[in-house]
Amino acid sequence: MPSHLASSEPLYLPFVSGERVAVLLPLPLSAPYDYTVPPGMNLGYGDFVVVPLSGREVVGVVWAPGEGSIDAKRLKPVRRRLDVPPMPEPLRKLVDWVAAYTLALPGTVLKMAMSVPAALEPARPVLGVKPAAEPASLGLRMTPARMKVLEAAARSAPIAASELAKQAGVGPAVVRGLVEAGALEQVPLDPVAESQPDWHRPGPTLSAAQREAAADMVARVQGRSFSAVVLEGVTGSGKTEVYFEAMAAALEQGQQVLVLLPEIALGAQWLERFARRFGAPPLQWHSDLGQAQRRETWRAVAEGRGKVVVGARSALFLPFPDLGLIIVDEEHESSFKQEEGVIYHARDMAVVRGHLGGHPVVLASATPSLETLYNVRAGKYRHLHLPERHGGAGMPDLSIIDMRKHPPPRGQWISPVLAEAVEQTLAAGEQAMLFLNRRGYAPLTLCRTCGHRLQCPNCTAWLVEHRLLGRLQCHHCGHSQPSPKECPSCGDEDSMVPCGPGVERLAEEVAHRFPDTRWAVMASDTITSPAQGAELVRQVTEHEIDLLIGTQIVAKGYHFPMLTLVGVVDGDLGLSGGDLRAAERTYQLLSQVAGRAGRAERPGRVLLQSFEPDHPVMQALARGDHEGFIREETEQRRAAGMPPFGRLAALIVSGADEARVERMARALGRAAPHGPGLDVLGPAPAPMALLRGRHRRRLLLKTSRDVAIQTVLRRWLAGVEQDPAVRVQVDVDPFSFL
Ligand code: ADP
Ligand code: ZN
């Protein structure tokens, strides 16, 4: 940790009129700017202030005492202070910390913590409506639509007009008309205060192992100091129930709780469970929120009214004044790594946030990452273990189908062994799931005559056929074009053939081989809204669907009692490519998918199709031996000096002009640091040498653990002249090597 962050600043140190203050602005700037405090104003650390900046007004945050060299007389005064709680100290320190660690500009990181400008404006009460005068006394003409609205309003607490219209199934104009006529009246709403989670409500009776883990975590919350705890337990072992206890303890202390989840938009089951346990929904934070909801949530958090937030990684930058606990669920998920803009890992930064705020952080997973388990062994993280599934449900029985011995018929993907298992399962009145981590119909289309392959014009990637849409799409840049009738290269007609399966093609095979089966596809492009996801989950739960075909989104924590068979169509899919974590990710993903089978009374089984049944990942999966797998992986990483035994940082050089990109990459290569414990690979064309129309080169810095990699990177970059047409991104602890 940079040493200037370690000291604690005074709780309240007002800057008085005439003094200078350093204000950090949410702009790509490397340092705060100095301003003076005008007459009649007092400012404290973290205050949101409006300041002038080259002819316009910008909102920034009081960051530090001013200390610039500019003559105080030439400094501009702060214009005004906004009526918002100051940005809490741990968040300000987190901004500095993330900037220092990732080499991002502090202002750019601050921008993530100020992502809702509207929340800084004076609070506008959110208005709702409730019944007012009797319609009869108003001489109001009653229509069926109006009746429906008034009935819905009578049943409900005060409610937003748009929501009332939705509930009544009428247009918003009907509600507006009733307000104007005086049959409904407008009242201020406080949606947050009206539904606070209630920690008094009892949870389930915990098993001995669950109780022990919960007690440990509760004691940490009550201790109000930092620690990191790994909660490891197979899917269905009750990790969620256990961390709910820790959350209740934080709520009892009046503190706030943050839960970070991957793929939040599809976490309908999680939200429901939370509501059942605590009697009210949590606040949500993710990219699908509307502006009004973002504003209200940000504000509720800042004012301490919002007690529990469940969100995607950016929720880490919400202004919690009194955070008592952070939970990172599925901590091993690589989607916690943000790959755009500020490149940071939300799980790691959650631990930093806990450190700065002085509260525990819980990392939950059935398959904790190698880095996290390394921290356990190094004594930095405490390890809690739930060894078995709740209620005696056994772990599913996993076996591998050797695809070399049991190949499917030509042009199909389900081996006879798996097909038979599906039939048995469906005949028994149970449900099955086929997992294939590929969207669309086919990942590659080529010409039978000349061999031409359809490629994205903007990326180093094949175009993926989406037959339902009749289009070819690039999964990297969104490029989309109609499926061609003839080969764009040789002009031959009807010569284009799909190669390999995606879930759409698998569905075609299912429809053909199991004709009377009710099936559905679940993929991120077929489920486009949380409501749609929730509806599909309901259909599966209520057994309106027999066979679910899905990509990795089906792996995420769903609990389907009647699902007893999981078939992994292509177990080898994630193993190819030179990714440092390919084996680990494959293990995690497949064991998570496997965990969907047999979560209730009926035992489950998992069949995994593989062309490499002897691969260490497949063998470890078959043995259910996560520990053994991690042990082997750890030894390999140690031998190679790879993380966590060494450090990595990538430089990604990109731009529209290939020659200039190449020149910059070479300049970086020439200026590369060298010395003991330092190694630079590249520059080399990135595996995605073209992405969204930008040419890309990569360099990889590999150092021993004791090297301060940020210092090395800073010196390196400072020694090379910048080119405004070329971007150099720094990725410390890279997860993606594309
Ligand atoms: P995990 O998060 O480890 O996958 P969950 O917390 O989701 O496990 O638990 C799996 C299922 O078992 C859930 O339906 C949960 O409500 C139930 N469950 C877990 N522990 C208990 C318990 N002690 N009493 C009753 N139900 C429990
Ligand atoms: Zn593309």
Q: What is the mean pLDDT of each run of 10 residues along the chain (738 residues)?
A: 42 78 95 93 95 95 87 89 95 98 97 91 76 79 87 80 82 89 82 75 93 98 97 90 98 97 71 92 86 89 95 96 96 93 97 98 96 96 91 81 95 96 95 95 95 94 93 94 92 93 96 94 82 84 94 78 92 85 92 80 88 94 91 94 95 97 97 94 94 96 95 96 96 93
Which of 520, 504, 523 lies closest to 263 in space, CA to CA?
A: 523
Q: Which amino acid is at 467?
A: R
Give the Cα separation of 175 and 186 in Å (integer).
11
Instruction: State the maximum Cα–Cα separation within the chain, in Å, rounded to a whole number.
Output: 89
Contact 129, 159 (CB under 8 A): yes
How remote is the CA of residue 431 from the centroid of ligand 1, in Å? 21
Give the Cα separation of 33 and 635 in Å (integer).
49
Atom of ligand 1 lying closest to residue 241 CA: 6
Contact 437, 473 (CB under 8 A): no
Which of 508, 512, 532 lies closest to 522 in space, CA to CA?
A: 532
Which of 368, 348, 383, 374 lies closest to 1 in space, CA to CA?
A: 348
How remote is the CA of residue 85 from the centroid of ligand 1, in Å? 38
Residues shown for the chain: 738
Ligand that lies nearest to the alpha carbon of residue 235, given by its number in the listed order: 1
> Tokens at residue 460, please?
């180093």
Contact 37, 15 (CB under 8 A): yes
Nearest protein CA to atom 20 of ligand 1, as residue:
238
How many Cα atoms sit within 13 Å of 613 on the Cβ side? 13
> Tokens at residue 66, please?
């001013």
Does the CB atom of residue 233 touch ligand 1 within 6 A? yes
Backbone angles phi, psi at 353, to 5 degrees: -60, -40
How remote is the CA of residue 693 from the centroid of ligand 2, in Å? 8
Say whether 181 sits in a helix, a strand or coil.
helix
Ligand that lies nearest to the alpha carbon of residue 458, given by its number in the listed order: 2
Strands 80-81 and 48-53: antiparallel
Q: Tokens 């293990």 sit at which residue?
A: 587
How remote is the CA of residue 617 from the centroid of ligand 1, in Å? 28
Q: What is the per-residue pLDDT for 557?
A: 63
How remote is the CA of residue 480 from the centroid of ligand 2, in Å? 9
Give the Cα separation of 238 and 171 in Å (integer).
44
Atom of ligand 1 lying closest to residue 559 CA: 14
> Tokens at residue 702, please?
């590999």
Does the CB atom of residue 714 touch ligand 1 within 6 A? no
Which of 517, 524, 520 lies closest to 548 in space, CA to CA?
A: 520
Which of 286, 259, 265, 289 lies closest to 350 in space, CA to CA?
A: 259
How remote is the CA of residue 489 from the centroid of ligand 2, in Å? 19
> Tokens at residue 427, please?
């005949």
Name every residue whose Cβ is closer than 8 Å to that of residue 143 and which is 6 or more positions away in sequence.
174
Does the CB atom of residue 238 touch ligand 1 within 6 A? yes
Give the Cα separation of 491 and 252 in Å (integer).
71
Which of 517, 608, 604, 601 lies closest to 564 in space, CA to CA?
A: 604
Q: Which of 206, 235, 240 has most ligand 1 atoms within 8 Å of its beta carbon, as the pocket-test mutant?
A: 240
Which of 61, 469, 353, 393 lies closest to 238 in space, CA to CA?
A: 393
Say whether 673 sits in a helix, a strand or coil.
coil
Nearest protein CA to atom 10 of ligand 1, as residue:
236
Give the Cα separation of 132 and 147 in Å (integer).
14
Q: What is the per-residue pLDDT for 208?
A: 95
Atom of ligand 1 lying closest to residue 210 CA: 23
Contact 598, 576 (CB under 8 A): no
Q: Which of 241, 330, 389 has most ligand 1 atoms within 8 Å of its beta carbon, as the pocket-test mutant?
A: 241
> Tokens at residue 493, please?
């007609």
Which of 623, 619, 564 lies closest to 595 in space, CA to CA?
A: 564
Say whether 390 sits in a helix, a strand or coil.
helix
Atom of ligand 1 lying closest to residue 235 CA: 4
Atom of ligand 1 lying closest to residue 204 CA: 24
Q: What's the distance, CA 372 to chain centroid? A: 18
Contact 432, 567 (CB under 8 A): yes
Give the Cα separation of 334 and 315 in Å (integer).
17
As a dihedral over the C-alpha atoms of residue 26, residue 27, residue 31, residue 32, rounded to 10 degrees, the angle is -50
Going by the DSSP 8-state scheme, the letter that residue 282 receives in this structure is: P
Q: What is the per-residue pLDDT for 182?
A: 87
Contact 350, 261 (CB under 8 A): no
Q: Which amino acid is at 343?
A: I
How remote is the CA of residue 329 from the centroid of ligand 1, in Å? 14
Containing 291, the helix (H) or strand (E) segment is: helix 291-302
Atom of ligand 1 lying closest to residue 595 CA: 4
Backbone angles phi, psi at 689, to 5 degrees: -70, -20
Quickly count helices (H) and strands (E) in the chain.
21, 29
Neighbours of ion ligand 2 (CB under 5 A): 456, 458-459, 474, 476-477, 479
* C-alpha separations of 674 from 103, 681, 718, 732 in Å: 20, 11, 15, 18
Containing 4, the helix (H) or strand (E) segment is: helix 3-6
Q: Compute and round to an integer the Cα radius of gyration of the chain.
A: 28
Q: Which of 332, 390, 562 has most ligand 1 atoms within 8 Å of its beta carbon, as the pocket-test mutant?
A: 390
